[in-house]
A and B are shown apart, each in its own frame.
Chain A
Amino acid sequence: MLIVFEQHIDPELHQMIIALYHAIKKSQIVGLRSITPAYSSITLVFDNNLLSFKYLKRELISIWTKLDVDHELPSRTFIIPVCYDIEFGLDLDKVADRTGLTIEQITTLHAESGYRVYMLGFLPGFLYLGGLPAELEIARKQTPRLSVPKGSVAIGGQQTGIYPSDSPGGWQIIGRTPISLFEPKTDFLIQPGDFIQFQPISKHAFHQSTHQLQEVKNEN
C-alpha cells in the first residue's frame, strides 16, 4: 500500500510524514511487515493472509485523523566529519566548473548548512539529506560510477548523501567521511527526521584513528 502526499521536498510535509510513520509503527497492526517513509510518501508491505487491504486502510484513516503533528517527536542531531580534500572529492573539479564556485566556496557552503534526514533507501544506511544550498545543486552523472568508495559524500540534484558502502553510484562526489555509518547486526542510529551537520577535517585527521558518530546534545 502506498500513501502519497503532494510531491515535493518540504520540511513541514516531511514532519507530518514522520509523525504518521511513528504513529503507524506504534499501532503495531498485526500483519504489517514493513513501513518505508520517503520524501512525500509512505510504502507499507503487509501480509494479505493476516490483514486485508480494506482493514488496513480503515486503520490508517483512524490513525491519520487522530494524528497530532505538533507532538514533540524524538529528533537528534549528529555530526559527521568530512574531508573535502581533492583526493576524496573525486568530482570537486566538475562541481566547481558547473557551478562557477571555487572548491573552497563549495566545501564551505556544504559544511555550513544543517541537513534534515528525509529518508533512507537505495542501500542499507544510505541517508537522503535535504537542505542543500541552491548554489550547489548539480545534476547526477550521465554515466554512474561502477564503484564509489565507502564513506563518499556526494551531491545529486537537490539532495546530498553519504555512500555507506562501496557501491555503484551516480552522484557527484565532493568528500569522504572516515566514519563507518552502517554495520550489520548493530543498531542503526540515524532516523528520518534527525539532523546532520558536516564538520570539515584535514586529510591528516582523516587518517587518524577511529572516528565515531557524535550526537549533539540539545540544551533545550
Chain B
Amino acid sequence: MKIEVMKPGLLTTIQDQGRFGYQDIGVQVSGFMDEFSAHLANILVGNSAESALLEMTLLGATLRFHGRAQIALTGADCRSKLDGQRILNNHVMNVKQGDILEVGHAQKGLRTYLAISGEFDIPEVYGSLSTNLEAGFGGLNGRVLEKNDLINYIPRNNPASNSGDSIDFDLSTDVIEVLPGPEFDSIPEHVRKWFFETKFTVSNDSNRTGIRLSNNQMIPSELPSILSSGLVKGTVQIPNSGNPIVLMADAPTTGGYPRIAACTDMACNQLAQMKLGDSFKFTLKN
C-alpha cells in the first residue's frame, strides 16, 4: 500500500525504538522522542511497541491512504480529521482506500505519533528504521517527509474495528524528575542548589538533539570540562554557556561537558512534549 504525503507538516520523520549497537562508532541512537506515546500508538494497532511509525512535530501531516489500514494517533492532540470527520487520539480507527488523514496543529503538547498496523517497506540502516537527520540516513532517505512523497507500507489487517473509547493521557508537567549524573558530586554545591531551585524555560534551538533551557536566576561560571565520555538520552549537561541542555534522541554519543543529572524515562517523554516557553523545575527522584 502507498501512503501519499499531501502536506508534510513541520517536521515529520519515520522513527522506531532507535539504532543500538553502533554508538561505539559515533552513530546516534535517534528513535522516538516520546516513547510513552509512541509505544501506546503501536500497541493500539497491534504492532510491537518498538515498531516504526511517524513522529510529527507541532504541525502534523496530511496523508492519503491508498489502501485499507488500521491507525492510531497519540501524543499531542491536533484536532485531527479522518475523511473529513473529527477524530480523537488514543484509540484505533479503520481507514479505507482513498481516506485522507489531516493531522492539524498541536493544541497541547508538541509531538504526535501515527502508528499504522503493519510495517514500513523501506530499507533498514544499521539495524533500524529510525531517521538520523544529523547524519542524513535511515527512515525515508535520512530526511523529513516532503510533499508528494509516496511511502511503501505493508498493512496487516487485524480483526479490530473502530473503538469508540478513547482515554486521555496528559504528559504536561512542571516538574522533571532526575537522578544524579556521573559528575554530580564534583559540581560545586551552589550550582547544584541553583539547578534544583531554578525555574527553567524551554528555549530556541530545542530539537531532537536536545532541549535547550534558559533561566533568569543565574548563569554559573564555566565548569571544568571532562574527558569526552558516553552520553545517553536524558543526560543533562552544563555546557560552557551555563544553561543546562537535556540530551534527547539525536544527541551525540559522547561529550565533554559535565553531566549533572539523568532524566527518568518518563521525564524524557514529558520533555518531548514541551513547547518553546514551557517551564519547569528539576527534582531529584528518591
Please give, as numbers and ranges, the residues of chain A lying within 8 Å of B252 by CB-CB distance.
Answer: 121-123
The one of B136, B138, B227, B230 in contact with A36, judged by C-beta atoms closer than 8 angstroms, is B230
Please give, as numbers and ranges, the residues of chain A lying within 8 Å of B137 by CB-CB distance.
Answer: 184-185
> Does B283 touch A at the CB level, under 8 Å?
no
Please give, as numbers and ranges, the residues of chain A lying within 8 Å of B136 by CB-CB distance.
Answer: 165
Tell me whether A124 and B230 are in contact in the complex, defined as CB-CB below 8 angstroms, given that A33-B20, A34-B20, A36-B253 are known contacts: no
Tell me whether A36 and B125 are in contact in the complex, defined as CB-CB below 8 angstroms, given that A4-B182, A41-B229 are known contacts: no
Please give, as numbers and ranges, the residues of chain B lying within 8 Å of A7 by CB-CB distance.
Answer: 226-227
The one of A2, A21, A125 in contact with B229, judged by C-beta atoms closer than 8 angstroms, is A2
Q: How large is the interface on B (under 10, 10 to 19, 20 to 34, 35 or more residues)?
A: 20 to 34
C-alpha spacing A122/B24, complex, angstroms:
10
Contact A34–B24 (Cβ < 8 Å): yes
Please give, as numbers and ranges, the residues of chain A lying within 8 Å of B20 by CB-CB distance.
Answer: 33-34, 45
Contact A39–B135 (Cβ < 8 Å): no
Contact A119–B135 (Cβ < 8 Å): no
| Interface of chain B, main secondary structure | loop
Tell me whether A39 and B229 are in contact in the complex, defined as CB-CB below 8 angstroms, given that A122-B252, A122-B255, A185-B137 are known contacts: yes
Contact B24–A9 (Cβ < 8 Å): no
Interface residues of B in 10-30 (CB under 8 A from A): 20-29
Contact B232–A43 (Cβ < 8 Å): yes
> Does B134 touch A at the CB level, under 8 Å?
yes
Contact A122–B182 (Cβ < 8 Å): no
Interface residues of A in 77-98 (CB under 8 A from B): none
Q: What residue in chain B is nearest A156 (Cβ atoms)?
A: B256
Q: How large is the interface on A (under 10, 10 to 19, 20 to 34, 35 or more residues)?
A: 35 or more
3 A-B pairs with least C-beta separation: A43-B230, A121-B254, A184-B137
Q: Which of B's residues lie within 8 Å of A, judged by CB?
A: 20-29, 125-126, 132, 134-138, 142, 182, 226-232, 252-255
- 20 more CB-based (< 8 A) A-B contacts, given A34-B23, A39-B228: A2-B229, A21-B24, A39-B227, A40-B227, A40-B229, A41-B229, A43-B229, A45-B23, A120-B24, A120-B25, A120-B26, A120-B253, A121-B228, A124-B27, A124-B132, A164-B26, A167-B134, A182-B25, A184-B138, A185-B126
